[in-house]
Amino acid sequence: MSNDWKQLADEYLLVADKFKLGSLPTEMPHPDTIGLSDWAKNDLEHALEQLQKIDLSCLNTLLKNIDSLEPLKNEIKKTFEAGANVYLCGCGATGRLALTLERIYREDFKNKDNVISFMAGGDVAVISSIEKFEDFENWGADQLTNLDFSESDLLIGSSEGGETPWVIGAVEKASEISNRKPWFLYCNPDDILKGLVERSRRVIENEKINKINLFCGEMVLAGSTRLQASTILTLGIGIPLLYHQKEIIEIKDKFKNLINEFSKFDFRTIKPFVEEESRIYEAGEFCHYQCKSHLGISILTDTTERAPTFSLPPFENFNEDTSNPSLCYFSFSHIDNNKDAWEFLLGRMPRTVEWEQVKDKSSKERLKGYEISSNNKSLREKYLTKKQSIFNISLEQEKLYFELNDCSTVIELPSTHNLYSHIFLKLILNIQSTLVMGRLNRYESNIMTWVKSSNNKLIDRTARNVAILLKEKGIDLPYEVVIYKIFEEKKHISIGRALVLKVYDSLISGHSTN
Query: What residues have CB less than 8 Å from 428, skipping those under 6 apart?
Result: 270, 411
Each residue of 392-433: pLDDT tens digit? 999 988 899 999 999 999 998 876 689 999 999 999 999 999
Each residue of 141-184: pLDDT tens digit? 999 999 999 999 999 999 999 999 999 999 999 999 999 999 99
Looking at this protein, which amino acid is placed at residue 146? N
Whether 289 shows a pLDDT value over 60: the answer reads yes
Whether 494 shows a pLDDT value over 80: the answer reads no
Whether 496 shows a pLDDT value over 70: the answer reads no
C-alpha dist (Å) from residue 328 to 24, 284, 445: 32, 11, 24
Q: State pTM to two decimals.
A: 0.92
DSSP alpha helices (H): ranges in 178-270?
190-196, 198-204, 228-242, 248-264
The class level of CATH for 58-264 reads alpha beta
Residue 473 pLDDT level (bands cut at 50, 70, 90): confident
Whether 469 shows a pLDDT value over 60: the answer reads yes
Which residue would you say has higher pLDDT here, 341 or 473? 341
- Per 3-state DSSP, the chain is made up of helix, strand and coil in percentages (nearest 5) of 55, 10, 35
Each residue of 321-341: pLDDT tens digit? 999 999 999 999 999 999 999
- Overall average pLDDT of the 51-79 stretch: 97
Residue 1 pLDDT level (bands cut at 50, 70, 90): very low
Contact 276, 405 (CB under 8 A): yes
What percentage of the chain has pLDDT greater than the value 90?
A: 78
- Overall average pLDDT of the 196-209 stretch: 96
Residue 2 pLDDT level (bands cut at 50, 70, 90): very low
What pLDDT is recorded for position 514?
58
Give the end-to-end CA distance of the chain in Å, rounded to a whole number: 28
In whole angstroms, what is the distance from residue 87 CA to residue 140 CA? 13
Each residue of 92-113: pLDDT tens digit? 999 999 999 999 999 999 989 9
In whole angstroms, what is the distance from residue 311 CA to residue 306 CA? 8
Contact 335, 373 (CB under 8 A): yes
Contact 398, 257 (CB under 8 A): no
Each residue of 119-135: pLDDT tens digit? 999 999 999 988 678 88
Chain mean pLDDT for the chain = 93
